[in-house]
Amino acid sequence: MRVYSQWLVALVACLLLAAPVCAQKEKREPLTDAQIEEIREASVDPVARVNIYTKILSEHAVAIKALGSRAHSAARSSRMDDGLQDFIALMDELGSNLDVYAERKADIRKALKPLNDAAPRWLEMLRALPAEPSFYLARKEAIESGKDLADQAKLLLDEQDAYFKAHKDEQGQERAEPK
């Protein structure tokens, strides 16, 4: 009985030690070091930052579209799933940035126009991808994230047009100044 309880304690200890190792999944970074640096440098310029994200997302869209036309293979399916996951993460990050800029009343209309032009193209590309089981869920989530981002950008542009029409003295500012 004593051997059994020692064995059980050892097993539980091993499982407790192994759990954090199993939980530490390698986190993918959808951006290159140069892109990360470019975004960091644009942290004080909301228009530049939104434009950079729009450019990066367009580059990812081109890469995903190119994968869609390749011959079916396990490697292609894995790369497609990874590419779609990266695309989702970038769209979500851009959406978070838009939330912050909207709250601050930063005038980002110049960046929203190219984003509003690009978002429907991204959605079209995502919908045109084959609905293969190996990346079906990632494709579905990417389409949902793309719709959310497109709706958010359109709504924000409309809101900003109305706001800055009424507050001409705040046009072009990075954030509304407290009054």
Provide the token pair at 53: 């994200």
Q: How many residues does the chain have?
A: 179
- What pLDDT was estimated at residue 3? 54
- What pLDDT was estimated at residue 28? 81
**Choice among 2-6, 66-70, 156-160, 163-167 with the minimum mean pLDDT:** 2-6
**Choice among 51-60, 121-130, 168-177 with the minimum mean pLDDT:** 168-177
Residue 18 confidence (pLDDT) above 80: no
Residue with the larger pLDDT of the pair 13 and 95: 95
- Report the C-alpha gap between 67 and 139 in whole angstroms: 13
Q: Express each pLDDT in 54-66 by its tens digit.
A: 999 999 999 999 9
Residue 108 confidence (pLDDT) above 50: yes
Residue 146 confidence (pLDDT) above 80: yes
Is residue 146 within 8 A of residue 119, CB to CB? The reply is: yes
The values of phi and psi at residue 31, to 5°, are -110, 150
**Choice among 28-32, 45-49, 84-88 with the minimum mean pLDDT:** 28-32
Mean pLDDT value across residues 1-30: 55
Q: Where does residue 179 rank: exposed (0-12), middle (13-18), buried (19+ CB within 10 A)?
A: exposed
What percent of the chain has a predicted confidence (pLDDT) above 90? 70
**Choice among 10-19, 50-59, 136-145, 153-162 with the minimum mean pLDDT:** 10-19
